[in-house]
Every structure is written in structure tokens, then in C-alpha cells.
Copies of this chain bind each other. A is one copy, B any other.
Amino acid sequence: MAEQTYLRDIADHVDQEITVRGWLYNRRDSGRLQFLLVRDGTGMVQAVAFQREVPPEVWEAASQVTQESSVIATGTVRADDRAPGGYELGLSDFRIVQLAEEYPIALKSHGVDFLMENRHLWLRAPSQWAVLRVRAATIRAIRDWLDDHGFLLVDTPILTPAACEGTTTLFETEYFGETAYLSQSGQLYNEATAAAFGRTYCFGPTFRAEKSKTRRHLIEFWMVEPEMAYADLDECMRVEEEMVSYVVQSVLERCAPELEILERDTGKLAQITPPFPRITYDEALGILGEAGEPLPWGEDFGAPHETILGNRFDKPVFVHRYPSQCKAFYMAPDENDARLSLSVDMIAPDGYGELIGGGQRLHDLALLEQRLAEHNLPREAFEWYLDLRRYGSVPHSGFGLGIERTVAWLCDLSHIRQTIAFPRTLGRIYP
């Protein structure tokens, strides 16, 4: 095959002849001119065929090509401010690899159920293409930041013998005669790896069999979970705001064209730099009361409360020191107020809800044993976890950041389902 030039590099080839292998996105016919929008997965270009200047078979192919047919286009790159993207391809050759049947997703509006049923094709649309490229850039930025700040990637298991926070929302499967559960979090395992490697993170899919249908929840979603030995709640918040700020600035830098396709207001994102505001749970209750959504002390926030809190600030806000009763069993107590936990959530602005949950973990053996009993958790399954308090226990902290919520925020999407290639929701496991 002739060498392929990717459209992401088109600016390097002005006045040169290149060959693009891709698909027809759209065609416009004006008598003796054909305007063919060709995409190759890395970008899009308008290819132009003049009837007088191309061989008859090229004109014929350009005239009959259908939407999403696979095509090989050869031509000369011209800089042209009027063309979409600033470049145009003056066609000299044009071949159809496979002539597509009538494409189900015409260039008009479709209902979201129809689009999700055709998700394997919908991914080719510019909006979805842009979102998933932002997703990849987000993940890369997170990994780069962690790798460059002394965190070691240590993958934690998906198939686990016990539940981190109870079994009610777990998927289960038979594991050679035993029952195994799909992981909701790698955190407990991270606590073991942090004692071996100092600072670690896991990054993988997690699963919640929740019957709730909201625009902020998926059944299968990806989470990054850093964990740090010898780190307290303050250090945890510092790491979170540094990492999130780096991710936002990195996406702004690398994904300008994608954010433009999505019409994202980037001015707001440009302001996301440390430090982020910090308020206590009690202060948050005050804000909710003022806003006419009072909440009894001790209850966790729901989506409406998170929206009110997030909207009070231009940056993500830390809410820290939740009552122990509304947080997981492994949260460390606050030495200054036994009712409180050293927990912290990061809530996004503009109604995107909780991006991060985390805090300082309990590191005292006797208290952990007591908590397991209070939560009716099966002690045998947690013996290894108790060992971490028997052999070199240290103050340690960590957090989990949800990838899809972060991408929804960065792309300004009203529903989280567009932030993953093949979303798993209450009603959908196809394609």
C-alpha cells in the first residue's frame, strides 16, 4: 500500500501530495465539483474533485460514494482559510474500498436510545469522537502525573472473595465452587501495596449493581485510586488538588480542537489551579440550609445537595470531616471530635457532583476489629486486612477519582453515558 498520511499531521504537508485512508463523512455535489469530507480517525479534511481535472473513474467514484464508505483519497494539500480546519485536499485519485449500505445514523438528529443501540457506529460522529479523545487525554494525564510523582501502578484484583462496603450492590459469579464478587474498589488492596511500595495506585474497571437510573451513574465505570503510606488528610487534599489541576490544564493544552467541537467554555477550566476551597461538613450543612435544602446532621449528600455545594464555587470544593456514620468502616476518626471521620469528598462545579471520595484510613488494630463487628463484616475475609495493622501500621490516606464524571465535567456533558465507549446502564448491555 502507498504510504498513509494521518490527517492530524496535515499541516506538515502543505503543497505536497498525500494519501489518506479513511471514511466518507459527508458529500456535497455542485455540478462539476464534488466536495467530499473525509475522516481518518485522527481528523477530517475536505477533498475537492473538479470534473475537468480528474480521470473519469475518479469522478465516478466521487459521485457515487455513500456516507461512511471506506475510501482512499490522494491529492495535494492546500492551505485555505475557508475550508473546514484550514486545509483542503485537491483530489488526483479517489478509490472506494467498500461502498457502505445506507448508513443508519444520517446527519440529522436521532433519539438517544437509537444512538446507544448503534453505539459502535455513533462513535464515529464528531461529538463522540471528541469526547473519547478527551477521555484518553484525561487518563494519560492522570497516569503521567502519578508516575512522575512517585506513585507505582499496582493492579488490584477484580474477582474478590469479599465486599469492601457490603454485598448489596455487588455482581457475583461462581469461582470454581466458591462465590466471587466483582470489585467495587481496589482500596483495601491498595492499603497493602502502599505498605510495600510507599505510594501506589490502581486503575481499572469497577462495578456497582445499583438499580438507580441517574445521569451520574454507570454500572461499569473506571476509577483511579491512589494510596499513600505516611500521609494524613491534609496531604491527601493537597495531592488531589495538584493532580486534578494538572489533568485539567493538560486536557486544555492537548484537546483544544476536541473542546471546540464540544463547544466547551474553556475559560472556566483555565481557572482550575490549586488551592481548591475547603469547607467542613458542618459548613456545607449551613450552605444547604441557606439554599433552602436543609439536611439533618449525619446524613450524606444526594445529587441535589452536591449540585448546590458545587455551584457555590468556581473550582472543585473539598468537603471534609463527614460524620463517621455516613462513611465507610475504614475511615479514621477525627481526634478532635469522635463523631467525625477524616474523610473528604471533592465536588465539581456546575452540577457534575462528586469527582473524588477519600480520606485518611483507620490504622489502629483494635478499632478496626470493633468496626468490622459493628458493620457485620465477615472477619475471616478481612484477616489479611487486619494484618496491615499488626505489622507496621502507619497513618495512610488515599482517594478514588471517577473517570467518567471527570470527563463529563471536562466536556460539559449532561449525561455520563457518553463518556465511555460502550456504556453499561440499567437497561443496556448491548452492543
Chain A contact residues, CB within 8 Å of chain B: 1, 4, 6, 8, 21-24, 40-42, 68-70, 97-98, 100-101, 103, 118-121, 123-124, 128-129, 132-133, 136, 139-140, 143, 147, 150, 152-161, 171-176, 178, 180, 182, 189, 192-199, 204-205, 207, 209, 211, 219-220, 222, 229-230, 232, 363, 381, 384-385, 387-395, 420-422, 424, 426-427, 429-431
Main secondary structure of the interface of A (DSSP, over half): mixed
- A384–B119 Cα distance when bound, in Å, is 9
| B8 A132 Cβ-Cβ under 8 A | no
Residues of chain B contacted by A128 (CB below 8 angstroms): 196
| B431 A391 Cβ-Cβ under 8 A | no
Residues of chain B contacted by A171 (CB below 8 angstroms): 159, 173-175
Q: Find the B residue at minimum CB distance from A43.
A: B198
Residues of chain B contacted by A153 (CB below 8 angstroms): 136, 139-140
| B232 A1 Cβ-Cβ under 8 A | yes
Minimal beta-carbon separation of A209 from chain B (angstroms): 8
- For the complex of A and B, the 9 pairs showing the least CB-CB separation, nearest first, are A41-B198, A384-B431, A120-B192, A123-B196, A70-B392, A21-B230, A41-B197, A98-B393, A124-B196
Residues of chain B contacted by A41 (CB below 8 angstroms): 152, 194-199, 229
| B158 A388 Cβ-Cβ under 8 A | no
When all copies of this chain in the complex are counted, the total is 2
| B21 A159 Cβ-Cβ under 8 A | no
| A68 B392 Cβ-Cβ under 8 A | yes
Residues of chain B contacted by A222 (CB below 8 angstroms): 155
Minimal beta-carbon separation of A407 from chain B (angstroms): 11
Residues of chain B contacted by A69 (CB below 8 angstroms): 391-392
| A429 B178 Cβ-Cβ under 8 A | yes
Instruction: Provide a sorted-by-A list of 25 A–B residue pairs whose CB atoms are within 8 angstroms.
Output: A6-B150, A8-B150, A21-B229, A21-B394, A22-B198, A40-B198, A41-B195, A41-B229, A97-B395, A98-B389, A121-B387, A132-B193, A133-B197, A140-B147, A140-B153, A143-B143, A155-B205, A155-B421, A157-B422, A158-B182, A171-B173, A171-B175, A175-B429, A180-B429, A384-B431
Question: Given A176-B426, A193-B123, A392-B98, are A198 and B132 neighbors across the interface (CB < 8 Å)?
Answer: no
| A160 B429 Cβ-Cβ under 8 A | yes
Minimal beta-carbon separation of A267 from chain B (angstroms): 27
- A124–B200 Cα distance when bound, in Å, is 13
| B139 A207 Cβ-Cβ under 8 A | no
Minimal beta-carbon separation of A175 from chain B (angstroms): 6
- A135–B421 Cα distance when bound, in Å, is 27
Residues of chain B contacted by A421 (CB below 8 angstroms): 154-157, 189, 193
Minimal beta-carbon separation of A314 from chain B (angstroms): 30
